[in-house]
Structure 1
Amino acid sequence: MKNKILPLILIIFIVALSGCIQSDVGKINGLSSTINEHLKNGDNYYNTAAEDINSFSLERALTNCNSAASEFKLAKSSAEEGLKYAQNSKNTVFIEYMGYAVTEIEARLNATLQLQQAIPYLQQKNNTTANNHITLANSYMDRSMEYKAKKDNLVSQNPSKFK
């Protein structure tokens, strides 16, 4: 009887342990919703900050820029973690995708920082310098959209890898 119980316990232990082990790709998939949520929140704060600047609600714009930057930093941290998992998986598609994601988020963060830097100049009525920062913010945001398009293209070329 003991001889039959020991293998049964061993099999149960192995099955239970294998369910607890998550692959690097599984970890990337788990991070994707976190990244997307932070990007969505960051974009909302960024867009609200831009609207605030246009209506000269500069204190509110600064608050929304700070919130956007915080959300983008959280997204970047998760994306960098995902990039490490992708590198561990040695899957070139995931490595490229997560690399694009990190670069996209960095561009959004830089756009937010440029928008933040414009606000004090707007408060001082130094519109030329403020507009230079706003132009840079727009440029960074355009760059982020280029990397988003690269990610989307990678997904469309490899639909079996993305669910």
Structure 2
Amino acid sequence: MICEVLHYPDSRLAEKSKPVEEITKEIKELAAAMTETMYKEEGIGLAAPQVGKLHRLVVIDVSGPEVRNELMTLINPVIVSAEGSCDSEEGCLSVPGYRSKIKRSETVVVKAQDLEGNDVTIEADGLLAICLQHELDHLDGILFIDKMSRLKRSLYDKKVKKWLKR
């Protein structure tokens, strides 16, 4: 089932998600729907708040777009270490039609649970590290545009206001 992806400036995107207390049938169904939505939208990651659900749940697959074979479903993910710094050109399904350079950590270690409740540890660099940071930011109500300079952000906000008036 395809989910509706919320778009900025929807205030729900700024809310902080709550931990998943139990991996229920509903959580598994949400993860499957998020995965289907991410693939349909040709994204590489999607967080539950982007579809209006305030759960600490993300799906990520950086293998695409032609082949999709590295799906990760992470429940209650936390970055336990981050090192280095890099510039990353980012976009977002919740901020359609806009990309900007953002400073991110070069490498991260993330701990989470999978859909079966098993503990997982992911050591990542490159695109996966950037995607993990981006999606985990969503769980705390942070969009990549929140990390831009004030000037770039104000220019973007002016564009959004024009779009909303149409």
TM-score, with structure 1 as normaliser: 0.31
Whose strand fraction is larger, Structure 1's or Structure 2's?
A: 2
Q: Work out which structure has the larger RCO, using CA pairs closer than 8 Å and 6 or more positions apart in sequence.
A: 2
Structure having the higher Rg? 1
Whose helix fraction is larger, Structure 1's or Structure 2's?
A: 1
